[in-house]
C-alpha cells in the first residue's frame, strides 16, 4: 500500500492512472485552501496476489483474455453474465 501523498503520475503502472492522478492532485493542491484527498492505494502486486489467493485469476483470464476493449456491447454482455452467474 502507498499513501496518496507518495504518488505521482509516474506511479501509474504501480497503482493505475486514476489513483496516480489522485496522488498528483494531492501534491499540487494539498497545502492550499481546498486541500487534496487523503488516502492510500493498493498496489498492483497485492491486488494480483489477492485474486490468485481467491482463485479468481483463471476465471478473469477466461472472461477477458480475448476481449476487444472497443466492443462496449460485449463488455456489457460479459458483465451481466458474470453478475448472474455469481449469484447462483
Dist CA 75 CA 54 (whole Å) = 23
Q: How far apart are CA 19 and CA 64, in angstroms?
A: 22
Distances 68 to 25, 32, 36 between C-alpha atoms, Å: 32, 42, 36
What pLDDT is attached to residue 52?
Answer: 87
Q: What is the pLDDT along the chain (88 residues), one digit of tens a residue?
A: 899 889 999 999 999 999 999 888 888 887 677 777 778 998 988 888 988 899 888 888 888 888 888 889 988 888 786 666 655 4
Q: What is the pTM of this model?
A: 0.57
Contacts (Cβ under 8 Å, ≥6 apart) of 54: none
The pLDDT assigned to 88 comes to 47
Amino acid at each position: 500500500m502507498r499513501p496518496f501523498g507518495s504518488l505521482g503520475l509516474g506511479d501509474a503502472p504501480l497503482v493505475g492512472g486514476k489513483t496516480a492522478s489522485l496522488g498528483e492532485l494531492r501534491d499540487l493542491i494539498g497545502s492550499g485552501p481546498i486541500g487534496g484527498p487523503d488516502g492510500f492505494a493498493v498496489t498492483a502486486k497485492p491486488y494480483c496476489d489477492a485474486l490468485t489467493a481467491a482463485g479468481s485469476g483463471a476465471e478473469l483470464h477466461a472472461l477477458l483474455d480475448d476481449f476487444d476493449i472497443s466492443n462496449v456491447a460485449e463488455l456489457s454482455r460479459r458483465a451481466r453474465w458474470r453478475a448472474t452467474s455469481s449469484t447462483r
